[in-house]
Structures are given as C-alpha cells and as structure tokens.
Amino acid sequence: MTTNKPSSGREGGRSLKTRVKSAGKRTMSSALWLGRQLNDPYVARAKTEGYRSRAAFKLLEIDDQYRLLRPGQRIVDLGAAPGGWSQVAAQRVEAVSGGGKVVAVDLLEMEPVSGVDFAVMDFNDETAVPRISAMMGGRADGVMSDMAANATGHKKTDHLRIMGLVELAYEFARGMLAPRGFFLAKVLQGGTEGDLLAALKRDFTLVKHVKPKASRADSSELYVLATGFRGAPPPSGEAGTSPAG
C-alpha cells in the first residue's frame, strides 16, 4: 500500500485526499474501507482528541442536542469496546472526579478507560443486572448501546440481527433503569420494529429516532432514543434502591 501523506489537508487551494492503492491480496472492499477510514475527518479527530473511536462523536452530537448526560449520573455502556462512548460518558458525568459512575460491559476485553469500571460479561446473563447494580451502587440513569451484529451484506438479515440485540438491550434497561432514565441504542434504517417501538412508548415518555452527523451519510444506521423512563420492578437481587451485595 502506498499513500500520499496529507499535511494541512489543503495545498495550492485544492483538497488533498489520501489514496489507497490495491496491493497484494487486498480485496476491493477492504481497499475501499481503508480509503474511507483514511479520509474520514472523524477518524482524524478521534486520534487528535484522544478518543478510542470515531463513534465518540456520535454520542457527543446526540448529547449536545438532547442533554442526556449530566454530572453525577450512573451510566451503563453495553458492548462498550473499544471504549469511545465510555470515554464521553465518563467525561460528562464527571466520573473521574467521583461525581458520577460509568460501568462498561463487553464480551471482549477492553483497555482501561479513566473513570470507567469495566466487566467482561454477557449482559443477557441472569446475573448481569444484580452484578452491574452492585458495581454502580444502584439503578442507572442511562443505558447506552452502540452494538451491531457482524454484517452479512443481506439487508433483511442484518436488520433482524441488530434488532435482536436492541430488544435484549431494552429488556436489560427495563430492569436496570431508575425512573426518568434514558435508553439509547443503535438500529438500522427502517427504524425500530413495531412491537418494540410500542413497548418503548409504553415505558418511556418520549421515543424518537436520531441520526447524528458523525454517522456516515451512506450508512443505514440510526439510533433509537427513549427518555423519561416510567419505572419498572426493582432489578433482581435489589431490595428497594439498595443493590445486592
């Protein structure tokens, strides 16, 4: 692979773009993906500003618009690796100074993030809610999920897979959220399935789909945002508002 190294991004009044030449056994799709990454301004900003991934800017934009994250809150980040969303949450709830709390969960290991408690676990496991409740000292003010199943290239299959993840995340959120809490999760174009949308509208005061500018224009991803949780039975193992020991 050879690249034309950009300097300030412009030279002689013309925009410079990094070019990726196919080399060896690189497939056309991987070359296109790499070219897109190299020319993505959010990838460059993530490196410059110290975020783990460009996905951090999606949450930053959503939060700037809807003011979800506030100092002192308790937040759960599902499928957190590599940690971009956890970084944003920790900053905005002031977790480093002890003001708020962020618990990140993933099936994969993740490098430590300042102010974030991380656990390798399946959030769908029956022990997950009491374990996370104990880690954060009570219910959560927000449950976030930027999870996506591995893409097959078949739109209907990919939609069904990601909706399966969203439904599991929603069931977890129902057991974990404090009253007035929020739920934010990735879906695909076409939005949230009717049954799940009806359930969200039953459990939250406001439900909408949002697409931040940091989501690529050619991407089918959207986010479902539900705010004003109306409340649910205490999480398993939790008596009142005290977490299980």
| DSSP 8-state secondary structure symbol assigned to residue 7 | S
Domain residue limits, the chain = 19-50, 52-229
- pTM, two decimals, is 0.77
- List, by residue number, the catalytic residues: 186
Tokens 């996506």 belong to residue: 148
In angstroms, rounded to a whole number, what is the distance separating the alpha carbons of residues 192 and 209?
8
64 is in an annotated binding site: no
CB 200 within 8 A of CB 183: yes
Q: Is 144 in contact with 78 (CB distance < 8 Å)?
A: yes
Q: What is the CATH number of domain 52-229?
A: 3.40.50.150
Tens-level pLDDT at each residue, the chain (245 residues): 444 433 333 233 333 344 444 445 456 555 544 445 445 677 778 687 778 788 999 999 999 999 999 999 999 999 999 999 999 999 999 999 989 999 999 999 999 999 999 999 999 999 999 999 999 999 999 999 998 766 666 666 676 777 889 999 999 999 999 999 999 999 887 666 788 899 999 999 999 999 999 887 777 788 999 999 998 655 454 444 333 33
Question: Is there a binding annotation on residue 85?
Answer: yes
Instruction: Please check if 33 is assigned to a binding site.
Output: no
